[in-house]
Every structure is written in C-alpha cells, then in structure tokens.
Amino acid sequence: MLSLPPSVRVFVARGPTDMRKSFDTLAAVVCEVVDEDPQSGHLFVFVNRRKNRVKVLWRQVDVSE
C-alpha cells in the first residue's frame, strides 16, 4: 500500500525506457522532457519495453523547511 499526500502528482512515461539508464540520467529526462524538477516530491515512473520492470524516481521533500 502506498499512501501519498494529495499534493503529489504521478507522471508515467508513455513510451518504453532503457532500464540501463541511471537515476541521474532519468532525472535529466524529467528535466528536459517533462519540464519538471525531479526533486519536487512528485513520482516519475518509467517502464521497460516488455512492461515487466519499473523504475520510480522520487525524492521525499521535507515540509518543515
């Protein structure tokens, strides 16, 4: 079970992603393609061509700051 606050958005890549890419490379994809900050606290979901593997890019944002 994954419970997220209502302010968190989930972005799912519509096309397949090369799972050999590092999380830094996926963060660059988020910046360039989606035009979002990968450290915003939102979830960015990537799947491979066969759709049997998933990578989720997420950074918890401290609300007290």
In a domain, 30, yes or no: yes
Rounded to 5°, angle at Cα 36 from 31 and 38:
75
| pLDDT digit string, tens, across residues 11-59 | 999 999 999 999 999 999 999 998 999 999 999 999 999 999 999 999 8
In a domain, 42, yes or no: yes
In a domain, 36, yes or no: yes
In a domain, 37, yes or no: yes
E strand spans, 1-65: 10-12, 43-47, 54-57
Give pTM, 2 decimals: 0.84
Q: Count up the domains in the chain and report the number.
A: 1
Host domain of residue 36: 10-57
In a domain, 28, yes or no: yes
Which two structure tokens, joined as six digits, stand for 42? 């939102």
Place of tokens 């994809």: 29
